[in-house]
Chains A and B, each alone.
Chain A
Amino acid sequence: GESVGLHLPTLSVQEGDNSIINCAYSNSASDYFIWYKQESGKGPQFIIDIRSNMDKRQGQRVTVLLNKTVKHLSLQIAATQPGDSAVYFCAESNTGANSKLTFGKGITLSVRP
């Protein structure tokens, strides 16, 4: 069946280092991908998105890379800070009307001081 999944359940990084969170998806019909961040006790918060006609998009300290050939998505966080500690989700969808998000399994990012 269709699935969106993450390779690793947890990631521990040193403060100041760069973080890379990976995600695999299996629905080749998806044309839109999003990363969400969920802090403890909070709801998911939109970070960055990318459409299938792009392979890279940059935001503030974050970069999303899309490799459609291998159906792989990654989130890069530059100079990771303690406030980046959270659960990160990739999600995929299409951009049509009444489309729905399919979320992958969350990965916990833990930032060591």
Chain B
Amino acid sequence: DTAVSQTPKYLVTQMGNDKSIKCEQNLGHDTMYWYKQDSKKFLKIMFSYNNKELIINETVPNRFSPKSPDKAHLNLHINSLELGDSAVYFCASSQDGRVTGNQPQHFGDGTRLSIL
């Protein structure tokens, strides 16, 4: 069973649309993250939530709004999609907000977002 699952795996949409990506983890972790990976494979954190509370919010346009209905889910809603939003978005989770080897971040397989 997939520990961190994202849906959809592929998302193709037109500029200006609003879309959501969903993420669920069944590891019992308290902390979840959203990362963006660009075409050059550069991976950068966008947000993290610990037990439904926002704890990291990088410099991300406010068109991006994460929502955590419970600690097992972290969804990402994007308004007014732009061409530059095309990327692979990864969800991850960890036991808590501390980065340690005993509790590394587990990543989903990504959502490939393409803006036409």
Nearest 7 interchain pairs by C-beta: A43-B107, A46-B104, A49-B101, A106-B41, A93-B99, A103-B43, A98-B97
* Contact residue among A43, A49, A89, A93 (Cβ-Cβ distance under 8 Å from B108): A43
Confirm or deny: B85 has a beta carbon within 8 angstroms of a beta carbon on chain A.
no
Question: Nearest Cβ distance between residue A45 and chain B, in whole angstroms?
Answer: 7
Question: Nearest Cβ distance between residue B93 and chain A, in whole angstroms?
Answer: 11
Contact B97 A97 (CB under 8 A): yes
Q: Which residues of A sit under 8 angstroms from B40, Cβ to Cβ?
A: 105
Q: List 5 A-B contacts (CB under 8 A).
A: A34-B101, A43-B107, A44-B90, A45-B107, A98-B56
Please list the residues of chain B having a beta carbon within 8 angstroms of any beta carbon in chain A: 4, 40-45, 48, 50, 55-56, 90, 92, 96-101, 104-110
Assuming A43-B90, A46-B104, is B42 touching A103 (CB within 8 A)? yes
| A106 vs B90: C-alpha distance when bound (angstroms) | 15
| A94 vs B97: C-alpha distance when bound (angstroms) | 11
A interface residues, how many (CB within 8 angstroms)? 26
Q: Which residues of A sit under 8 angstroms from B45, Cβ to Cβ?
A: 100-102
Contact B41 A32 (CB under 8 A): no
Question: Nearest Cβ distance between residue B103 and chain A, in whole angstroms?
Answer: 10
Chain A window 87-113, contacts with chain B (Cβ cutoff 8 Å), 1 for yes, 0 for no: 101000111111111110110000000
Contact A99 B43 (CB under 8 A): no
